[in-house]
Structure formats: C-alpha cells, structure tokens
Amino acid sequence: MAFLTEDQVRRRAQSRAQRQGMTVEKALNSVARADKSSYDVFLSQTIRDRELVLGVYAILTEDLGLTVFCDWIDSPDTDRANVTPENAHYVREKMKHSDSLLFLDTQNADQSKWMCWELGWFDAAKGKVGVLPVVRSVNDPYRGREFLGLYPVVEIDAMQKLKVSATPELLRRIMTPGQVYGLATSFPLKFWATASRDPLSYLR
C-alpha cells in the first residue's frame, strides 16, 4: 500500500471541476450543501488545502459513496478564522452525528487549531478516528506527528481503495485482552475483526 500524493489528489479535484466545466474554486462553491441528519465521515481539514480537500471529498463521496461533512463545503458561512463558542458548538453537533473522523494530514495541518480540537473531541467521544496522509510525492516519506501515532493510518491500495493500516504497537494500545472487538480494514471505521484474548491473535 502507499500514501496518497498531492498530485493524485489535485488531479482528482481538477477532474471533478472539469466535468462541471468549472474552475476548482467554482466547483467547491457548487458542491451540494444539503444538511443531513448523519454522516459516514467528518472530514477534519484546513481551508489552506482547498484543492486537496476537494480531491479527497470527491474520492470519499463519488468513488466510495460516503456521506461526508466538510465544514467550509457544507457550511460556507462559518468563519473558521473567528473561533467562537457558536462555531465550536455547530462543529461539535456535526461530529456528534458522524460515524467516524478522518484527519487529513498535510503540511498545512500543523497550523490548524481547529483540527487538533476536532481530533481530541472525537477521540474522547467516539474513538473512530483515522489519519489520511497526503504526501508531496511517492518518494516523500510520511513524517507523521507523535500524537497521530495513536490512530490507524489510511492508505491507498493497488485497487485505489482506502485501507486502514494498524501496527502491532497500535493494536496493543487500543485493544484490551479479553475484550471482543471488530477491526475495520477499510474506511470509514464502521467496526473494529474479533480479538477475544490476544489483541494480535488475528495476525497469526
């Protein structure tokens, strides 16, 4: 498996925009903003990555058929630069009605206050968190960050499907011996394969 690259995701965004006969910016503004009662994925991202976000949004919604909440696509009037209790309440309500959170990890994600807050809230409230790295090129190693190592990494396989990668170290941390889990192998994290005693027994 491999990580998505910026070129792959930008091409996906441009493809969507071209099908609509629009620029990427206009395509972003034309995305349907119908309010839904629930979402498969809450997409945690930064507006600094507008083109990348549109590409990932297209992959999730068009290629995988998922319902996705992305605040500045679904709620463009929300002022992300103006952090208020009202804005935070709105975002929290959308997270409450989302099955999983996908953290779009890019070079710009480091600068976002909102993304860290979203990740922390969702982890504590629901726990179904995945990290989707977008690297600059196929030769660019994923740098990661210390706290993101707590979560499964979502990669792309040879069939262009998003798959969840969990290391043995991660599984030891998140799975308690004697407790039954369901381990998701694809995104969104609908459920965690069964490990009844040894968290790593299913690997053998």
User: Distance (Å, rounded) from C-alpha 55 to C-alpha 134?
Assistant: 11
Q: Would you state the pLDDT for residue 21?
A: 86
Q: For residue 87, what are the contacts with CB-CB under 8 A and spacing of at least 6?
A: 78, 79, 80
**Domain 4-165, CATH class in plain words:** alpha beta
CB distance 32 to 6 below 8 Å: no
pLDDT at 197: 40
Residue-range domain boundaries for the chain: 4-165
- pLDDT tens, residue by residue, 135-180: 988 888 777 777 888 888 888 777 767 777 666 666 666 666 665 5
Rounded to the nearest integer, the mean pLDDT of the chain is 77
Render pLDDT for 11-60 as a digit per residue (tens, 0 to 9).
Answer: 988 888 888 888 877 777 666 566 788 998 999 999 899 889 989 998 88
How far CA 118 is from CA of 11, 40, 83, 127, 135, in Å, comes to 28, 16, 13, 12, 22
Residue count (the chain): 204
Higher pLDDT: 125 or 199? It is 125
Distance (Å, whole) CA 152 – CA 170: 8
